[in-house]
């Protein structure tokens, strides 16, 4: 089946730093989504990407949909403490009833 590989699996941030994570897939997706999940909560959508090569920003977040439709990256600029959480990429395929296939997540933690 389809698999999404996210990297890194975890990372430490210091306030003010820029953060980058990416996601690759063995399959093509129509839409690529980035979610954030806080402890005890469901995932919340941050950014949606619809076209190959598309670069989209939402505040301090920037994400790009790869040209091949098999990869994406998410950047967070000038990180703040509330950026801590788990970030998931998800691919969506119209032919599969628009169901979401999630990556394994990138856990963002604060440097001690």
Contact between 55 and other proteins per CB under 8 A: no
Q: How many helices (H) and strands (E) does the chain have?
A: 0, 11
Q: Decide if 28 contacts 94 (C-beta within 8 A).
A: no
Please, how many CA atoms are within 13 Å of residue 100, restricted to the half-sphere of its CB?
13
Contact between 43 and other proteins per CB under 8 A: yes
Smaller CB distance to other proteins: residue 41 or 59? 41
Contacts of 22 (CB under 8 A, 6+ apart): 6, 7, 71, 72, 73, 74
In the shown chain, the binding pattern of residues 2 to 41 toward other proteins, with x for contact by CB under 8 A and - for none, equals --x--------------------------x-x------xx
Site for other proteins in 68-97 (CB under 8 A): 88, 90, 92, 96-97
Binding stretches for other proteins (CB under 8 A): 4, 31, 33, 40-45, 48, 88, 90, 92, 96-97, 99-105
């Amino acid at each position: 089946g389809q698999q999404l590989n996210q990297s890194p699996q975890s990372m430490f941030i210091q306030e003010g730093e820029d953060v980058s994570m990416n996601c690759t897939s063995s399959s093509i997706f129509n839409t690529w989504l980035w979610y954030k999940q806080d402890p005890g909560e469901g995932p919340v959508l941050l950014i949606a990407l619809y076209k190959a090569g598309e670069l989209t920003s939402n505040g301090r977040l920037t994400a790009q949909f790869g040209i091949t439709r098999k990869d994406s990256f998410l950047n967070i600029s000038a990180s703040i403490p509330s950026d801590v959480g788990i970030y998931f990429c998800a691919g969506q395929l119209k032919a599969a009833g628009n169901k979401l296939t999630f990556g394994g997540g990138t856990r963002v933690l604060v440097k001690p």
